């Protein structure tokens, strides 16, 4: 690529991974982040092998292992009786296979701290407390600007999440459509749970028009709980809106005792709920010397646990495509071609899962049968994806 620097807007999971990758491939990178410090806020993240493959490649294998729990299976259970419908083997169950990558449960704050440490160790500048409001672009240059920032670049990467201001600078505003689902989330201390098996297992509970997922984080010290319910309407697409824990308990009042126990232990001051929105795929991710990655270009419903994984895959693809093409224009074209179809497919499967998880009556019965016979195969297809192989295929063809 022509000389000059790459400016990344956003030090989230995607922005930091992209910074590490670009730096590893010899690019000069700087990151601009609106928040002053990495917070421990947030929830659990499931990192599937398609994502850990990329994170290992950038040198994070041991630091990731030190902050993660490694589940071998996820159990799927009946919402009222607790009967196990099936269990799905996750990647660490095939540990003997050296070519496999682990499946991790990790706290978002721990993951961001791990990525930030690696970025600092690589001496990549991260400018915190710098909100970027606008991005400008001509044929030969791009620039970012904010209240106290004006910087030119060879390439600007918008990794600034679901409300991306870089996306707004490039394209017409998108119009997210409320999915009808609202997700509640909380973190519980494992010590507060009397049942050890409840505290240590990863479980997905399917019920009529609702579901719950929980798994350990913070090396098993805490449990991340997400409960998904319906709502007639919603206006604000925010991850940090507080919810009323009593309302949550009432909504799941007729569920199994394990769920009652988990909801009861959520700290009411850290009980969040957010409306889930569908976003139509963008036609393009780039304009001139500006591009997008992660939630900025393909926000994904959480029913396949792949949003962060997609941002991580994007990061590797962007860096590799720029390196192999040697020019921004060709590199960005290759990046979109390698990534856009995959991201749209994952958005679609995630959306469909939201429907499947909530089936009722005989449809639920048929779903349970299918999960027992095909559930693992569907997940394998998503988790075995190798972004590096896709890039190689693209450049061979």
The footprint of ligand FAD (CB under 6 A) covers: 9-15, 32-35, 43, 45-46, 131-132, 159-161, 165, 185, 239, 294-296, 300, 302, 305-309, 311
Beta strands 126-128 and 28-33, pairing class: parallel
CA 157 to chain CA centroid, Å, is 18
* Closest CB 386 distance from ligand FAD, rounded Å: 17
* Closest CB 333 distance from ligand FAD, rounded Å: 21
* Closest CB 194 distance from ligand FAD, rounded Å: 26
Please, which residue, 156 or 309, has the CB nearer to ligand FAD? 309
Please, which residue, 183 or 322, has the CB nearer to ligand FAD? 183
Identify whether 215 is a catalytic site residue.
yes
Other CB atoms within a 10 A radius of the CB of residue 69 amount to: 19
Please, which residue, 256 or 279, has the CB nearer to ligand FAD? 279
Please, which residue, 102 or 307, has the CB nearer to ligand FAD? 307
Other CB atoms within a 10 A radius of the CB of residue 272 amount to: 20
Give the three-state DSSP class for 73.
Answer: strand
DSSP codes of every residue in 139-179: SS-EEEEETTEEEEESEEEE---TT-HHHHHHSPPP--EEE
- As to burial, measured by CB atoms within 10 angstroms (0-12 exposed, 13-18 middle, 19+ buried), residue 283 is exposed
Catalytic residue among 21, 103, 215, 385: 215
Give the three-state DSSP class for 207.
Answer: strand
* Closest CB 294 distance from ligand FAD, rounded Å: 2
* Closest CB 167 distance from ligand FAD, rounded Å: 10
State the Cα–Cα distance between residues 279 and 343, nearest whole angstrom.
12
Nearest to 2 by CA among 119, 158, 151, 142: 142
Ordered alpha helix ranges (H), the chain: 13-24, 49-57, 61-67, 108-121, 165-170, 196-200, 245-251, 257-265, 307-325, 328-357, 361-383, 387-396
Which residue number is nearest to ligand FAD in terms of Cβ? 12
Nearest to 49 by CA among 94, 118, 109, 104: 104
Please, which residue, 241 or 254, has the CB nearer to ligand FAD? 241
Give the three-state DSSP class for 56.
Answer: helix
Q: Alpha-carbon torsion 215, 270, 234, 246, what sign? A: positive
In contact, 379 and 91? CB cutoff 8 Å = no
Please, which residue, 69 or 300, has the CB nearer to ligand FAD? 300
Nearest to 113 by CA among 226, 190, 11, 238: 11
* Closest CB 68 distance from ligand FAD, rounded Å: 12
Please, which residue, 226 or 364, has the CB nearer to ligand FAD? 226
Q: Is 84 left (phi over 0), alpha (psi -120 to 50) or beta?
A: beta
* Closest CB 48 distance from ligand FAD, rounded Å: 7
Active site positions, annotated: 215
């Amino acid at each position: 690529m022509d000389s000059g620097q790459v400016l990344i807007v956003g030090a989230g999971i995607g922005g930091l991974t992209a910074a590490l990758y670009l730096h590893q491939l010899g690019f000069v990178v700087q990151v601009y982040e609106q928040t002053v410090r990495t917070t421990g806020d947030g929830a659990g993240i499931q990192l599937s092998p398609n994502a850990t493959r990329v994170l290992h490649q950038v040198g994070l294998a041991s630091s990731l292992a030190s902050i993660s729990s490694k589940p071998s299976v996820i159990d799927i259970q009946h919402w009222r009786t607790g009967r196990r419908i099936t269990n799905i083997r996750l990647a660490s169950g095939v540990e003997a296979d050296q070519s496999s990558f682990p499946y991790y449960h990790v706290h978002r704050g721990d993951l961001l701290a791990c990525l930030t440490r690696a970025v600092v160790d690589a001496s990549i500048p991260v400018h915190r407390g710098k909100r970027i409001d606008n991005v400008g672009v001509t044929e030969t240059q791009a620039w970012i600007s904010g209240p106290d920032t004006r910087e030119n670049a060879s390439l600007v990467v918008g990794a600034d999440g679901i409300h991306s201001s870089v996306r707004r600078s490039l394209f017409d505003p998108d119009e997210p459509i409320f999915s009808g689902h609202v997700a509640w989330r909380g973190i519980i201390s494992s010590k507060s749970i009397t049942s050890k098996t409840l505290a240590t297992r990863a479980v997905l509970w399917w019920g009529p028009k609702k579901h719950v997922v929980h798994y350990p984080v913070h090396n098993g010290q805490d449990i991340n709980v997400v409960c998904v319910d319906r709502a007639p309407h919603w206006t604000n697409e925010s991850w940090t809106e507080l919810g009323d824990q009593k309302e949550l308990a009432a909504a799941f009042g007729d569920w199994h005792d394990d769920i009652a126990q988990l909801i009861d232990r959520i700290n009411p001051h850290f009980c969040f709920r957010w409306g889930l929105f569908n976003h139509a795929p963008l036609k393009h991710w780039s304009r001139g010397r500006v591009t997008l990655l992660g939630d900025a270009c393909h926000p994904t419903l959480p029913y396949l646990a792949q949003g962060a994984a997609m941002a991580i895959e994007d990061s590797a693809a962007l860096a590799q495509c720029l390196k192999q093409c040697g020019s921004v224009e060709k590199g960005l074209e290759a990046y979109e071609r390698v990534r856009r179809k995959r991201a749209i497919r994952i958005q679609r499967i995630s959306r469909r899962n939201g429907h499947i998880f909530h089936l009722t009556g005989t449809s639920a019965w048929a779903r349970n049968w299918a999960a027992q016979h095909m559930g693992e195969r569907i997940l394998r297809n998503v988790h075995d994806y190798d972004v590096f192989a896709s890039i190689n295929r693209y450049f061979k063809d």
